[in-house]
Every structure is written in C-alpha cells, then in structure tokens.
Structure 1
Amino acid sequence: MSKIAIHFFTEDISYTLKHKTLIRTWLLDTIYAEGYQLEELNFIICSDEYLLTMNQQYLDHDTYTDVITFDHSEALKMIAGDIFISIERIQENAKEFKSTVFHELCRVMVHGTLHLLGYKDKSKKDKTLMTQKEDHYLSLLNSK
C-alpha cells in the first residue's frame, strides 16, 4: 500500500502531534466516505501571529482564527490542500468548550478537510450541516 499523503508540519512554533497514524487513517476514511480521493493534504500547525498574518495577506481579514484552508485541488473528487491551524486558538477553544486540546485539534482538522470536500460555513444552514458532519466524523474517531 502506498504511503498516505497526509503530512504534518509546524511553522514558527514547537509542537509535537500525537497519534499521527490514527489521525491519518481517520481523515482518509472521512475523505473516502464523502466520495473523494486523496492527492495530498498538509496540516501546518503554527502560532496565532503567523495565522493572523496569513489571514491578512491572503484573505484580507484582520482577525485571529483557528484555521485557514487553501484548496489546491485540480481534479473533481480529488483532495489537495494546505490547512493552517493556530495551536494557541486550539488551546483557548479547548478551555472554552471544556474539551481536550487533542479533541479540539481533530475538530479543526476535520473542519478544514470538510471545506476541501465542498462544505461551506458562511450561512446558518451551511454551518449547521458542517457542525453535524464534524460531530459525525469525530464520533468515528472516538470509536477507533
């Protein structure tokens, strides 16, 4: 079997992601369940300031955020993208929602992946559907 093309990087911080094999398998299962194939998916864990700069530079938003997704897909039903995640936002969200950092990080990873799968979150209806999908796929992770 070929190596799963899901990669994890850090930018401007030191962070060690645990359970990489489990996360890769879970995200690949999510992609397949949605009827897509994987070309390449990169997760880049970074600081608030790094992600703020990206948000300003590429999206013209002057706000902190937990995740930014860049879609590089060129073929239908094929996933290729970069997902940047602020570990500081994840840590804050975990406290706020009384969750673990790992669970919140996985929620944001699947959120970014769902964007690549065509889901949106700008309208209330779209956001509700995306949250349902996040919860569904997180429940599958928790059962592994």
Structure 2
Amino acid sequence: MSNPKNFQLFNTTKLDFPVAESTINKVIKLFTQRHSCIIEFVEIVLVDEEEIRRINREYLQKDYVTDIISFHYHDTNETKDTLITPSLEGTMYCCLPRIIEQSTEFNVDVNTECLRIVVHGLLHILGYEDSTVKQKETMTTEEDAIIQQITI
C-alpha cells in the first residue's frame, strides 16, 4: 500500500523535475518527524526565472531571481515556538533553472540541490528565517540532517 502524498506539485516550466514525488514525500515525512510538526497543506510550484522574479518583486519588493520563495499560511502572530503542535501549511515557488545553475556552482547533483531547496522551503514555512549568518547556519544544519537520510 502506498502512502498518500503530503504535497501537491505543479510544474509550470518545460523542464522535468529530477526528483521523484515519492522521494519528496519521504523528505516531508522525515521533516515532520524531526520537527514534531504535522502537515496541513504544502504546495510546490516550479517556475521559471521570469516568474520567480515577478513574485520576488511583487511580494518581497526584491528585484532579482532567487531559488525559492516560500509563503506560510498560518496566523502571523504564530511562530514555531508558540504553537503546541506546529503545522506545515504553505506554498513554495521553486525556480528550477536557478536550482540547476546552483547545483553546478555548488558542485552537487541536481537531485541533491532540489531536495535541499525543498527542505529550505519547509523550514521557512515552519517559521525559520535566514536573515543572519547564525540563522543561515542553523538552516543549513537542518537541511543537511534531512538530506543525509535520503538515498536517491
């Protein structure tokens, strides 16, 4: 018997997403176990550079291409620290062309970089920030901890 999907994936690009949906499901399961949270609704939308830049400009007032933008759907007063049982509810916009570029820059395979981006987005949906060096280090540690458990 197969597990139900914990997410919806929408690919608006002409590129194939290199990670199997079953692997993404496994990542989300490991994430929820590690962070003692439940999944409500996670949407992963694959977009091109033009669309990620438009979203970045419109919602974050930043005019550049980035790898991922995440939006959480919980109350703005709620944080991962104030909720009794944190939940994952949000949308991630992933720029697949940028992720492919980054995999070359970081000398990692595309699958691994895609997984890292998914975990990064989940962390943001859960309430993690990466504005400071310390916050970035914390997020990288969390990303690595989950990715190391996945065999592609």
Same fold (TM > 0.5): yes
CA contact (8 A) 2:6 2:28 kept: no
Q: Residue 31 of structure 1 aligns with which residue? A: 32
Q: Distance in 2 between matches of 1:8 and 1:131?
A: 24
Q: Which runs of no fewer than 5 residues in structure 2 stay unpaired?
A: none
Matches within 5 A, 1:34-49: 34-49=35-50
**May I ask how many residue pairs the two structures share in their alignment?**
142
Decide which structure has greater helix share. Answer: 1
- Quick one: which of 144, 148, 152 aligns to 1:135? 144
Matches within 5 A, 1:12-91: 13-17=13-17, 18-74=19-75, 76=83, 77-91=86-100
Pairwise CA distance, 1:2: 7.1
CA contact (8 A) 1:119 1:130 kept: yes
CA contact (8 A) 1:43 1:85 kept: yes
CA contact (8 A) 1:51 1:64 kept: yes
Q: Residue 126 of structure 1 aligns with which residue? A: 135
The amino acid across from 1:27 in the alignment is: I
SS at 2:11 equivalent: strand
Q: Distance in 2 between matches of 1:90 and 1:128?
A: 19
Q: Distance in 2 between matches of 1:52 and 1:61?
A: 8
Identity %: 26
Q: Which runs of 4+ in 1 moved over 4 A?
A: none
Pairwise CA distance, 1:4: 2.9
The amino acid across from 2:135 in the alignment is: D
So what's the TM-score if we normalise by structure 1? 0.91
The amino acid across from 1:3 in the alignment is: P
So what's the TM-score if we normalise by structure 2? 0.86
Q: Distance in 1 between matches of 2:21 and 2:44?
A: 11
Q: Which runs of no fewer than 5 residues in structure 1 stay unpaired?
A: none
SS at 1:73 equivalent: coil
Q: Distance in 2 between matches of 1:118 and 1:58?
A: 17
